Amino acid sequence: EKIAAYPNNAFLYNLMAQVNLAEKKPEAAEAALKQAIQLAPQWNVPYDNLARLYLSQGKTARAIDNMQDAIDRNPKNTTAYMTLAFLYEKSGDPGKAKAVYEAALNKNDRLWAAANNLAFLLAEHPDSSDDLQRASELAAQAEKLRPNEPRVLDTVGWIHYRKGDLTKALTVMERAVEKAPDSGVINYHAARVLADSGRMVEAREKLEKTLVADGDFAEKAEAEALLEKIVNSE
């Protein structure tokens, strides 16, 4: 009724899409979200909702195209950059994810999440010998903006780990775990540092706890493999 009365209201179409999803009508939801985008191309919410819909259907490529369209329509939409970079990470393309995070920081150098995520990717997937140093600088930038954010502390600690400084890595990781005790990724990273430090009992305890507490996380397979390795070595 509201859409009939206000046919150019993008908010109503976005709301209609949520109703369609609740009724398990994904095609109708997609059509409503596309209409919302058509009516308000600068508004990020329907783009995000459409990306989530595509992801729920396993259509990662379409989700990527959708977010690229959001950026093309509004190059200042830093939220769209963050979502697009996440989608590239999810699809296993760290190179493109790094490029998008770089673009986001060029738009706004105070995006702590972009700095943090880019730092982690540079440490994990370096293209040159300078990337680890750049990762350190970006992580420090993110920590300055969000000094108590556990994801940032995790990245800072992980970069110390990649540099081979296990003592510094563990000190920072322990702070991250204290602030996010149920985070699977953070506990796994701390367990890796503990295992490489020869503290296998503590590493095993962390892994067992996090694999029970956190049902799913990005590096769950690696955490399970590390736990199996520790158990088999006992």
pLDDT along the chain (234 residues), means of 10: 94 97 96 95 91 93 94 90 94 95 95 97 93 96 96 97 96 95 92 96 92 76 93 87
The pLDDT assigned to 108 comes to 93
Per the structure block, which two tokens stand in for 35?
Answer: 């209409």
Handedness of CA 93, 102, 186, 171 (dihedral sign): positive
Kindly report the pTM of this predicted structure. Answer: 0.86
The pLDDT assigned to 214 comes to 56
The pLDDT assigned to 209 comes to 84
Do 36 and 8 form a contact (C-beta atoms < 8 A)? no
The pLDDT assigned to 107 comes to 93
The pLDDT assigned to 213 comes to 66
Other CB atoms within 10 Å distance of the CB of residue 209: 15
3-state secondary structure of 216: coil
